[in-house]
Structure 1
Amino acid sequence: MSNMRKRWLLAAVAAVSVPLALSACGKADKGGSADCAPYADFGKHEDTQVTMYSTVRDAEADQLTATFKDFEECTGIEIKYEGNGDFEAQIGIRVDGGNAPDIAVFPQPGLMAKFAGKLKPASEKLKSIVTANYSKDWQNYGTVNGTLYGTSFDANVKSFVWYSPKLFKEKGYAVPKTWAELITLTDKIKADGIATPWCAGIESGEATGWPATDWLEDMVLRTAGPETYDKWVKHEIPFDDPAIATALDRVGSILRNQDYVGKVSAIATTSFQAAGLPILENKCGLHRQASFYAAQWPQGTKVAEDGDVFAFYLPGDDAAKKPILGAGQFVTAFTDRPEVEAVRQYLASGVFFNERMKKGPFTTANKQADPNNATDPVIKLSMQLLRDDTATFRFDGSDLMPAEVGSAKFWKEMTAWIAEGKDTKATLAAIEAAWPK
């Protein structure tokens, strides 16, 4: 699921009404007194301007432009920032109309790849920064046909299970390290009187079904491994390959098990935003959802290891292996003026990320970012996973697939699989049939 849509969903929950194309502009503050030593590597570019365009709006945009302040003062570059909720549709129009921004932050690698012929490749200096600051997985997602175009901007981790630390302490539950331990824990929660050990919801308006696609993607990584996952996402194996059926059946061992979730069909009409809230009342024990679900808990909820809710990594069969499903945005450039190059290097540096994290919630896979700068513990946990050398990161598969599959048929068929009890084989075959020939 794209970051753009997630931001739309979170905004809807907060009942914030904003125009679709609301913009936020950043302008250099020439009156400050910044310590310029951290910015020396980016050079001096007095009285220059770089335009930057992304999906980031509202409070996030304010935090972003506040982060730019010292960089602008120290380098002389004004970053003219614009955020647009309709980025995915508008970026093509702007590029075709000769109005491409200097810097564009793409919400998915697949969309970025469509513009590879018009984007500027990374310089040798930028490549060296990216090599030092990011894992090979993140480098690869910014690369198209062997050429590095994009550098990782933000990131989120989807392989989380939310729970109540208070309940775990009261019952003596331990955080599971393997899938078998997770199922044993589920059975204990059931035996201890919680009628539905798992809570789930996949309703999301026009995007209903996307949380179920994340479930399947996580299971493919755990039951079939990252190599098979890559082949599946690229359609080098069919969508209904037996390995994918095995993974979906494992999802079904929880989501289609009425002993674990209660009325299965109700999952399709329970909103993703409200799905995990029963944890606060001990009406369910576990909820699989991404790091960004932290924004859904009611005001006053303490999200911490000793708080009202927290999250643990969704384990697989082998505790020694740690596949991580996630997503993120990528910084690219349509121009290569010296000041644009300076901004690209800055946006790939620890200098930028450490300052951005201090301004408000923000997760990054950049190795130079200090997790201690994170403003909440789930972000800190996410960063620890993203920086774990034993972990294997894979991007959300539906964001990488053709739109008619990843954000259409995949959502629809997973909804039918839950709401109607549609057969696993028939469900996957229907999605396979939608893949562009």
Structure 2
Amino acid sequence: MRSSLHRRFTAPIAIAAIAGLTLAGCSGGPGTTTADAGAEGDGTVSVYGTISETEAELLEQSWADWETENGIDIQYEASKEFEAQISIRAQGGSAPDLAIFPQPGLMADLATRNYLKPAPQAVEDNVDEFWSADWKAYGTVDDTFYGAPLMASVKGFIWYSPAKFAEWGVDVPETWDELLEVTATIQAATGTAPWCAGFGSGEASGWPGTDWVEDLVLREAGADVYDQWVNNEIPFTDPAIASALDAVGEILLNPDYVNASLGDVTSINSTAFGDVATPVANGTCAMTHQASFFDGFITDAGGEVGPDGDVWAFLTPSNDSDGQAVTGGGEIVAAFSDDADTQAVQAYLSSDDWANSRVALGGVISANTGLDPANAQSPILQEAITILQDENTTFRFDGSDLMPGAVGSGTFWKGMTDWINGTPTDEVLTGIEAGWPSS
């Protein structure tokens, strides 16, 4: 099982809106802390997150040398129930020293309730040096900086076969209209559906569909509208959001275009998102939409990823070819304790040293500008790092991860599966919007 960048284990709980903006929420109770400010610590720091199995082992390996050098034992615990349990632990006085939040909104909720400690100056200095202002904002709540970014993913990649594109006489499209033209050309040449998709992910089914919509909102309507939408300053029923969903439907609701080798349109819901890797790798599916982490799934399915490999990827294009706007995911590391050991670990995890250590072990990337892209072991991950480090890239965090959980991991996920099953766009959007908390 892959990390929180790759799969989501989100309980449908209400979380606050986009970090860094004024948040509506409950009054803050006394925060839990395991140590007083300035305390030396006891030589151990507990860290709690969603990163599990092989990737948890790599995470622990990434800081092993630092632990020895600094005499601090980092004790990591993974949980599929993180999103629900972190709030319970905080309220019960048993919070970890540090938590790795896959959703900035969840971190913001706990910050507004005074459970989290502001980040020490060393962490803020690292973020000011190595991250963009957008990334810093995701760890900032009501003008107080709490958490530094950790790892990242670039969403919106379209995975395809370079050899097949050459065979069909099509080029990588530079605009959305060109993507539709490429789709039609492949369908005519092969007589089969060019696209495959899977929304299946257990209790989290539907999230791959939200990624599609987020890409189209950012690319069609722009970053300002995207920000307003994520914060519910414009509703899901706004024409800009409806237009984005309808644009996605030009592909995903067209029975001539999906679901290559897997079934009809409705089979998208019953297909596990990772299972799409096999038809892409073996060439029976021409294109699929998924984040940078899909590289690992393609490799597991026997495909070689690279510009000259079996499978390569390009970013979902905008309506025009100017600029580069991308959505993505990541994690924020925030503290419930402010003892010296906890602050030292939090500072290390925000450093370029840690980013290079972890990325060199494989499978993940970071938006840390001190990261050497050559440390990434996959060409698509190297490409993703370059995109994240490009000062001309407009980056926006995954919208559903910024929305309250009742929407982002509730009505939005459900709405996408309903939409695939035939529920009309206006009805779907009205139902998703109804999930927003009233206060």
TM-score, normalised with respect to structure 2: 0.86
Q: Does 1:415 align with 2:414?
A: no
AA in 2 matched with 1:105: I
CA contact (8 A) 1:203 1:271 kept: yes
CA contact (8 A) 1:3 1:329 kept: no
CA contact (8 A) 1:52 1:104 kept: yes
Alpha-carbon distance, 1:110 to partner:
0.8
**Which ranges in structure 2 are unaligned for 5 or more consecutive residues?**
10-39
Q: Report the counterpart of residue 268 of structure 1 in structure 2.
A: 269
Alpha-carbon distance, 1:5 to partner:
8.7
Alpha-carbon distance, 1:347 to partner:
0.6
Residues 175-190 of structure 1: pairs in structure 2 closer than 5 A: 175-190=172-187
CA contact (8 A) 1:119 1:149 kept: yes
Q: Does 1:241 align with 2:223?
A: no
AA in 2 matched with 1:216: V
Q: Does 1:312 align with 2:309?
A: no
CA separation in 2, counterparts of 1:405 and 1:342?
A: 36
Deviates more, 1:273-282 or 1:99-108: 273-282
Distance 1:50 1:134, change over 3 A: same
CA separation in 1, counterparts of 2:350 and 2:147?
A: 10
Residues 26-425 of structure 1: pairs in structure 2 closer than 5 A: 48-116=43-111, 117-261=114-258, 263-297=264-298, 298-420=300-422, 422-425=423-426
CA contact (8 A) 2:155 2:327 kept: yes
Deviates more, 1:235-244 or 1:48-57: 48-57
Alpha-carbon distance, 1:407 to partner:
1.4
AA in 2 matched with 1:293: F
Q: Over the residues paired in the alignment, what is the CA RMSD in angstroms? A: 2.1
CA contact (8 A) 1:142 1:152 kept: yes
Between the aligned residues of both structures, percent identity stands at 47
Alpha-carbon distance, 1:124 to partner:
2.7
Distance 1:355 1:177, change over 3 A: same
CA separation in 2, counterparts of 1:418 and 1:203?
A: 12
CA separation in 2, counterparts of 1:7 and 1:198?
A: 21
CA contact (8 A) 2:100 2:331 kept: yes
AA in 2 matched with 1:134: W
| 1:100-130 CA-partner distances (Å, limit 9, x unpaired) | 2221111110110121112111223321210
CA separation in 1, counterparts of 2:206 and 2:3?
A: 16
Q: Report the counterpart of residue 19 of structure 1 in structure 2.
A: none
AA in 2 matched with 1:358: A
AA in 2 matched with 1:64: L
Deviates more, 1:380-389 or 1:184-193: 184-193
Distance 1:435 1:255, change over 3 A: same
Q: Report the counterpart of residue 429 of structure 2 in structure 1.
A: 428
Alpha-carbon distance, 1:413 to partner:
2.0
Alignment partner of 2:170: what SS? coil
| 1:190-230 CA-partner distances (Å, limit 9, x unpaired) | 22225112112222332222211111111111111111111
CA separation in 2, counterparts of 1:433 and 1:277?
A: 37
Q: Report the counterpart of residue 35 of structure 1 in structure 2.
A: none
Alignment partner of 1:264: what SS? coil
| 1:131-160 CA-partner distances (Å, limit 9, x unpaired) | 110011111111111111010011111110
Alignment partner of 1:88: what SS? helix
Distance 1:172 1:61, change over 3 A: same
Number of residues paired by the alignment?
400
CA contact (8 A) 1:222 1:316 kept: yes
Deviates more, 1:153-162 or 1:66-75: 66-75
Distance 1:387 1:194, change over 3 A: farther
CA separation in 1, counterparts of 2:233 and 2:206?
A: 24
CA separation in 1, counterparts of 2:95 and 2:228?
A: 33
CA separation in 1, counterparts of 2:3 and 2:64?
A: 25
AA in 2 matched with 1:317: N
Q: Report the counterpart of residue 36 of structure 1 in structure 2.
A: none
Deviates more, 1:360-369 or 1:330-339: 330-339
| 1:306-325 CA-partner distances (Å, limit 9, x unpaired) | 11112111110122221111
Alpha-carbon distance, 1:338 to partner:
2.1
CA separation in 2, counterparts of 1:125 and 1:88?
A: 27
| 1:12-57 CA-partner distances (Å, limit 9, x unpaired) | xxxxxxxxxxxxxxxxxxxxxxxxxxxxxxxxx8972222222222
Deviates more, 1:132-141 or 1:81-90: 81-90
AA in 1 matched with 2:189: D
CA separation in 2, counterparts of 1:383 and 1:261?
A: 31
AA in 2 matched with 1:75: N
**Which ranges in structure 1 are unaligned for 5 or more consecutive residues?**
10-44
Alpha-carbon distance, 1:281 to partner:
3.8
Distance 1:433 1:318, change over 3 A: same
AA in 2 matched with 1:426: E
| 1:37-82 CA-partner distances (Å, limit 9, x unpaired) | xxxxxxxx89722222222222112111112122122222222222
Alpha-carbon distance, 1:361 to partner:
1.2
AA in 2 matched with 1:289: Q
| 1:267-312 CA-partner distances (Å, limit 9, x unpaired) | 2222222234323343331111112222323443212221111211
Alpha-carbon distance, 1:4 to partner:
4.0
Alignment partner of 2:237: what SS? coil
Deviates more, 1:272-281 or 1:129-138: 272-281
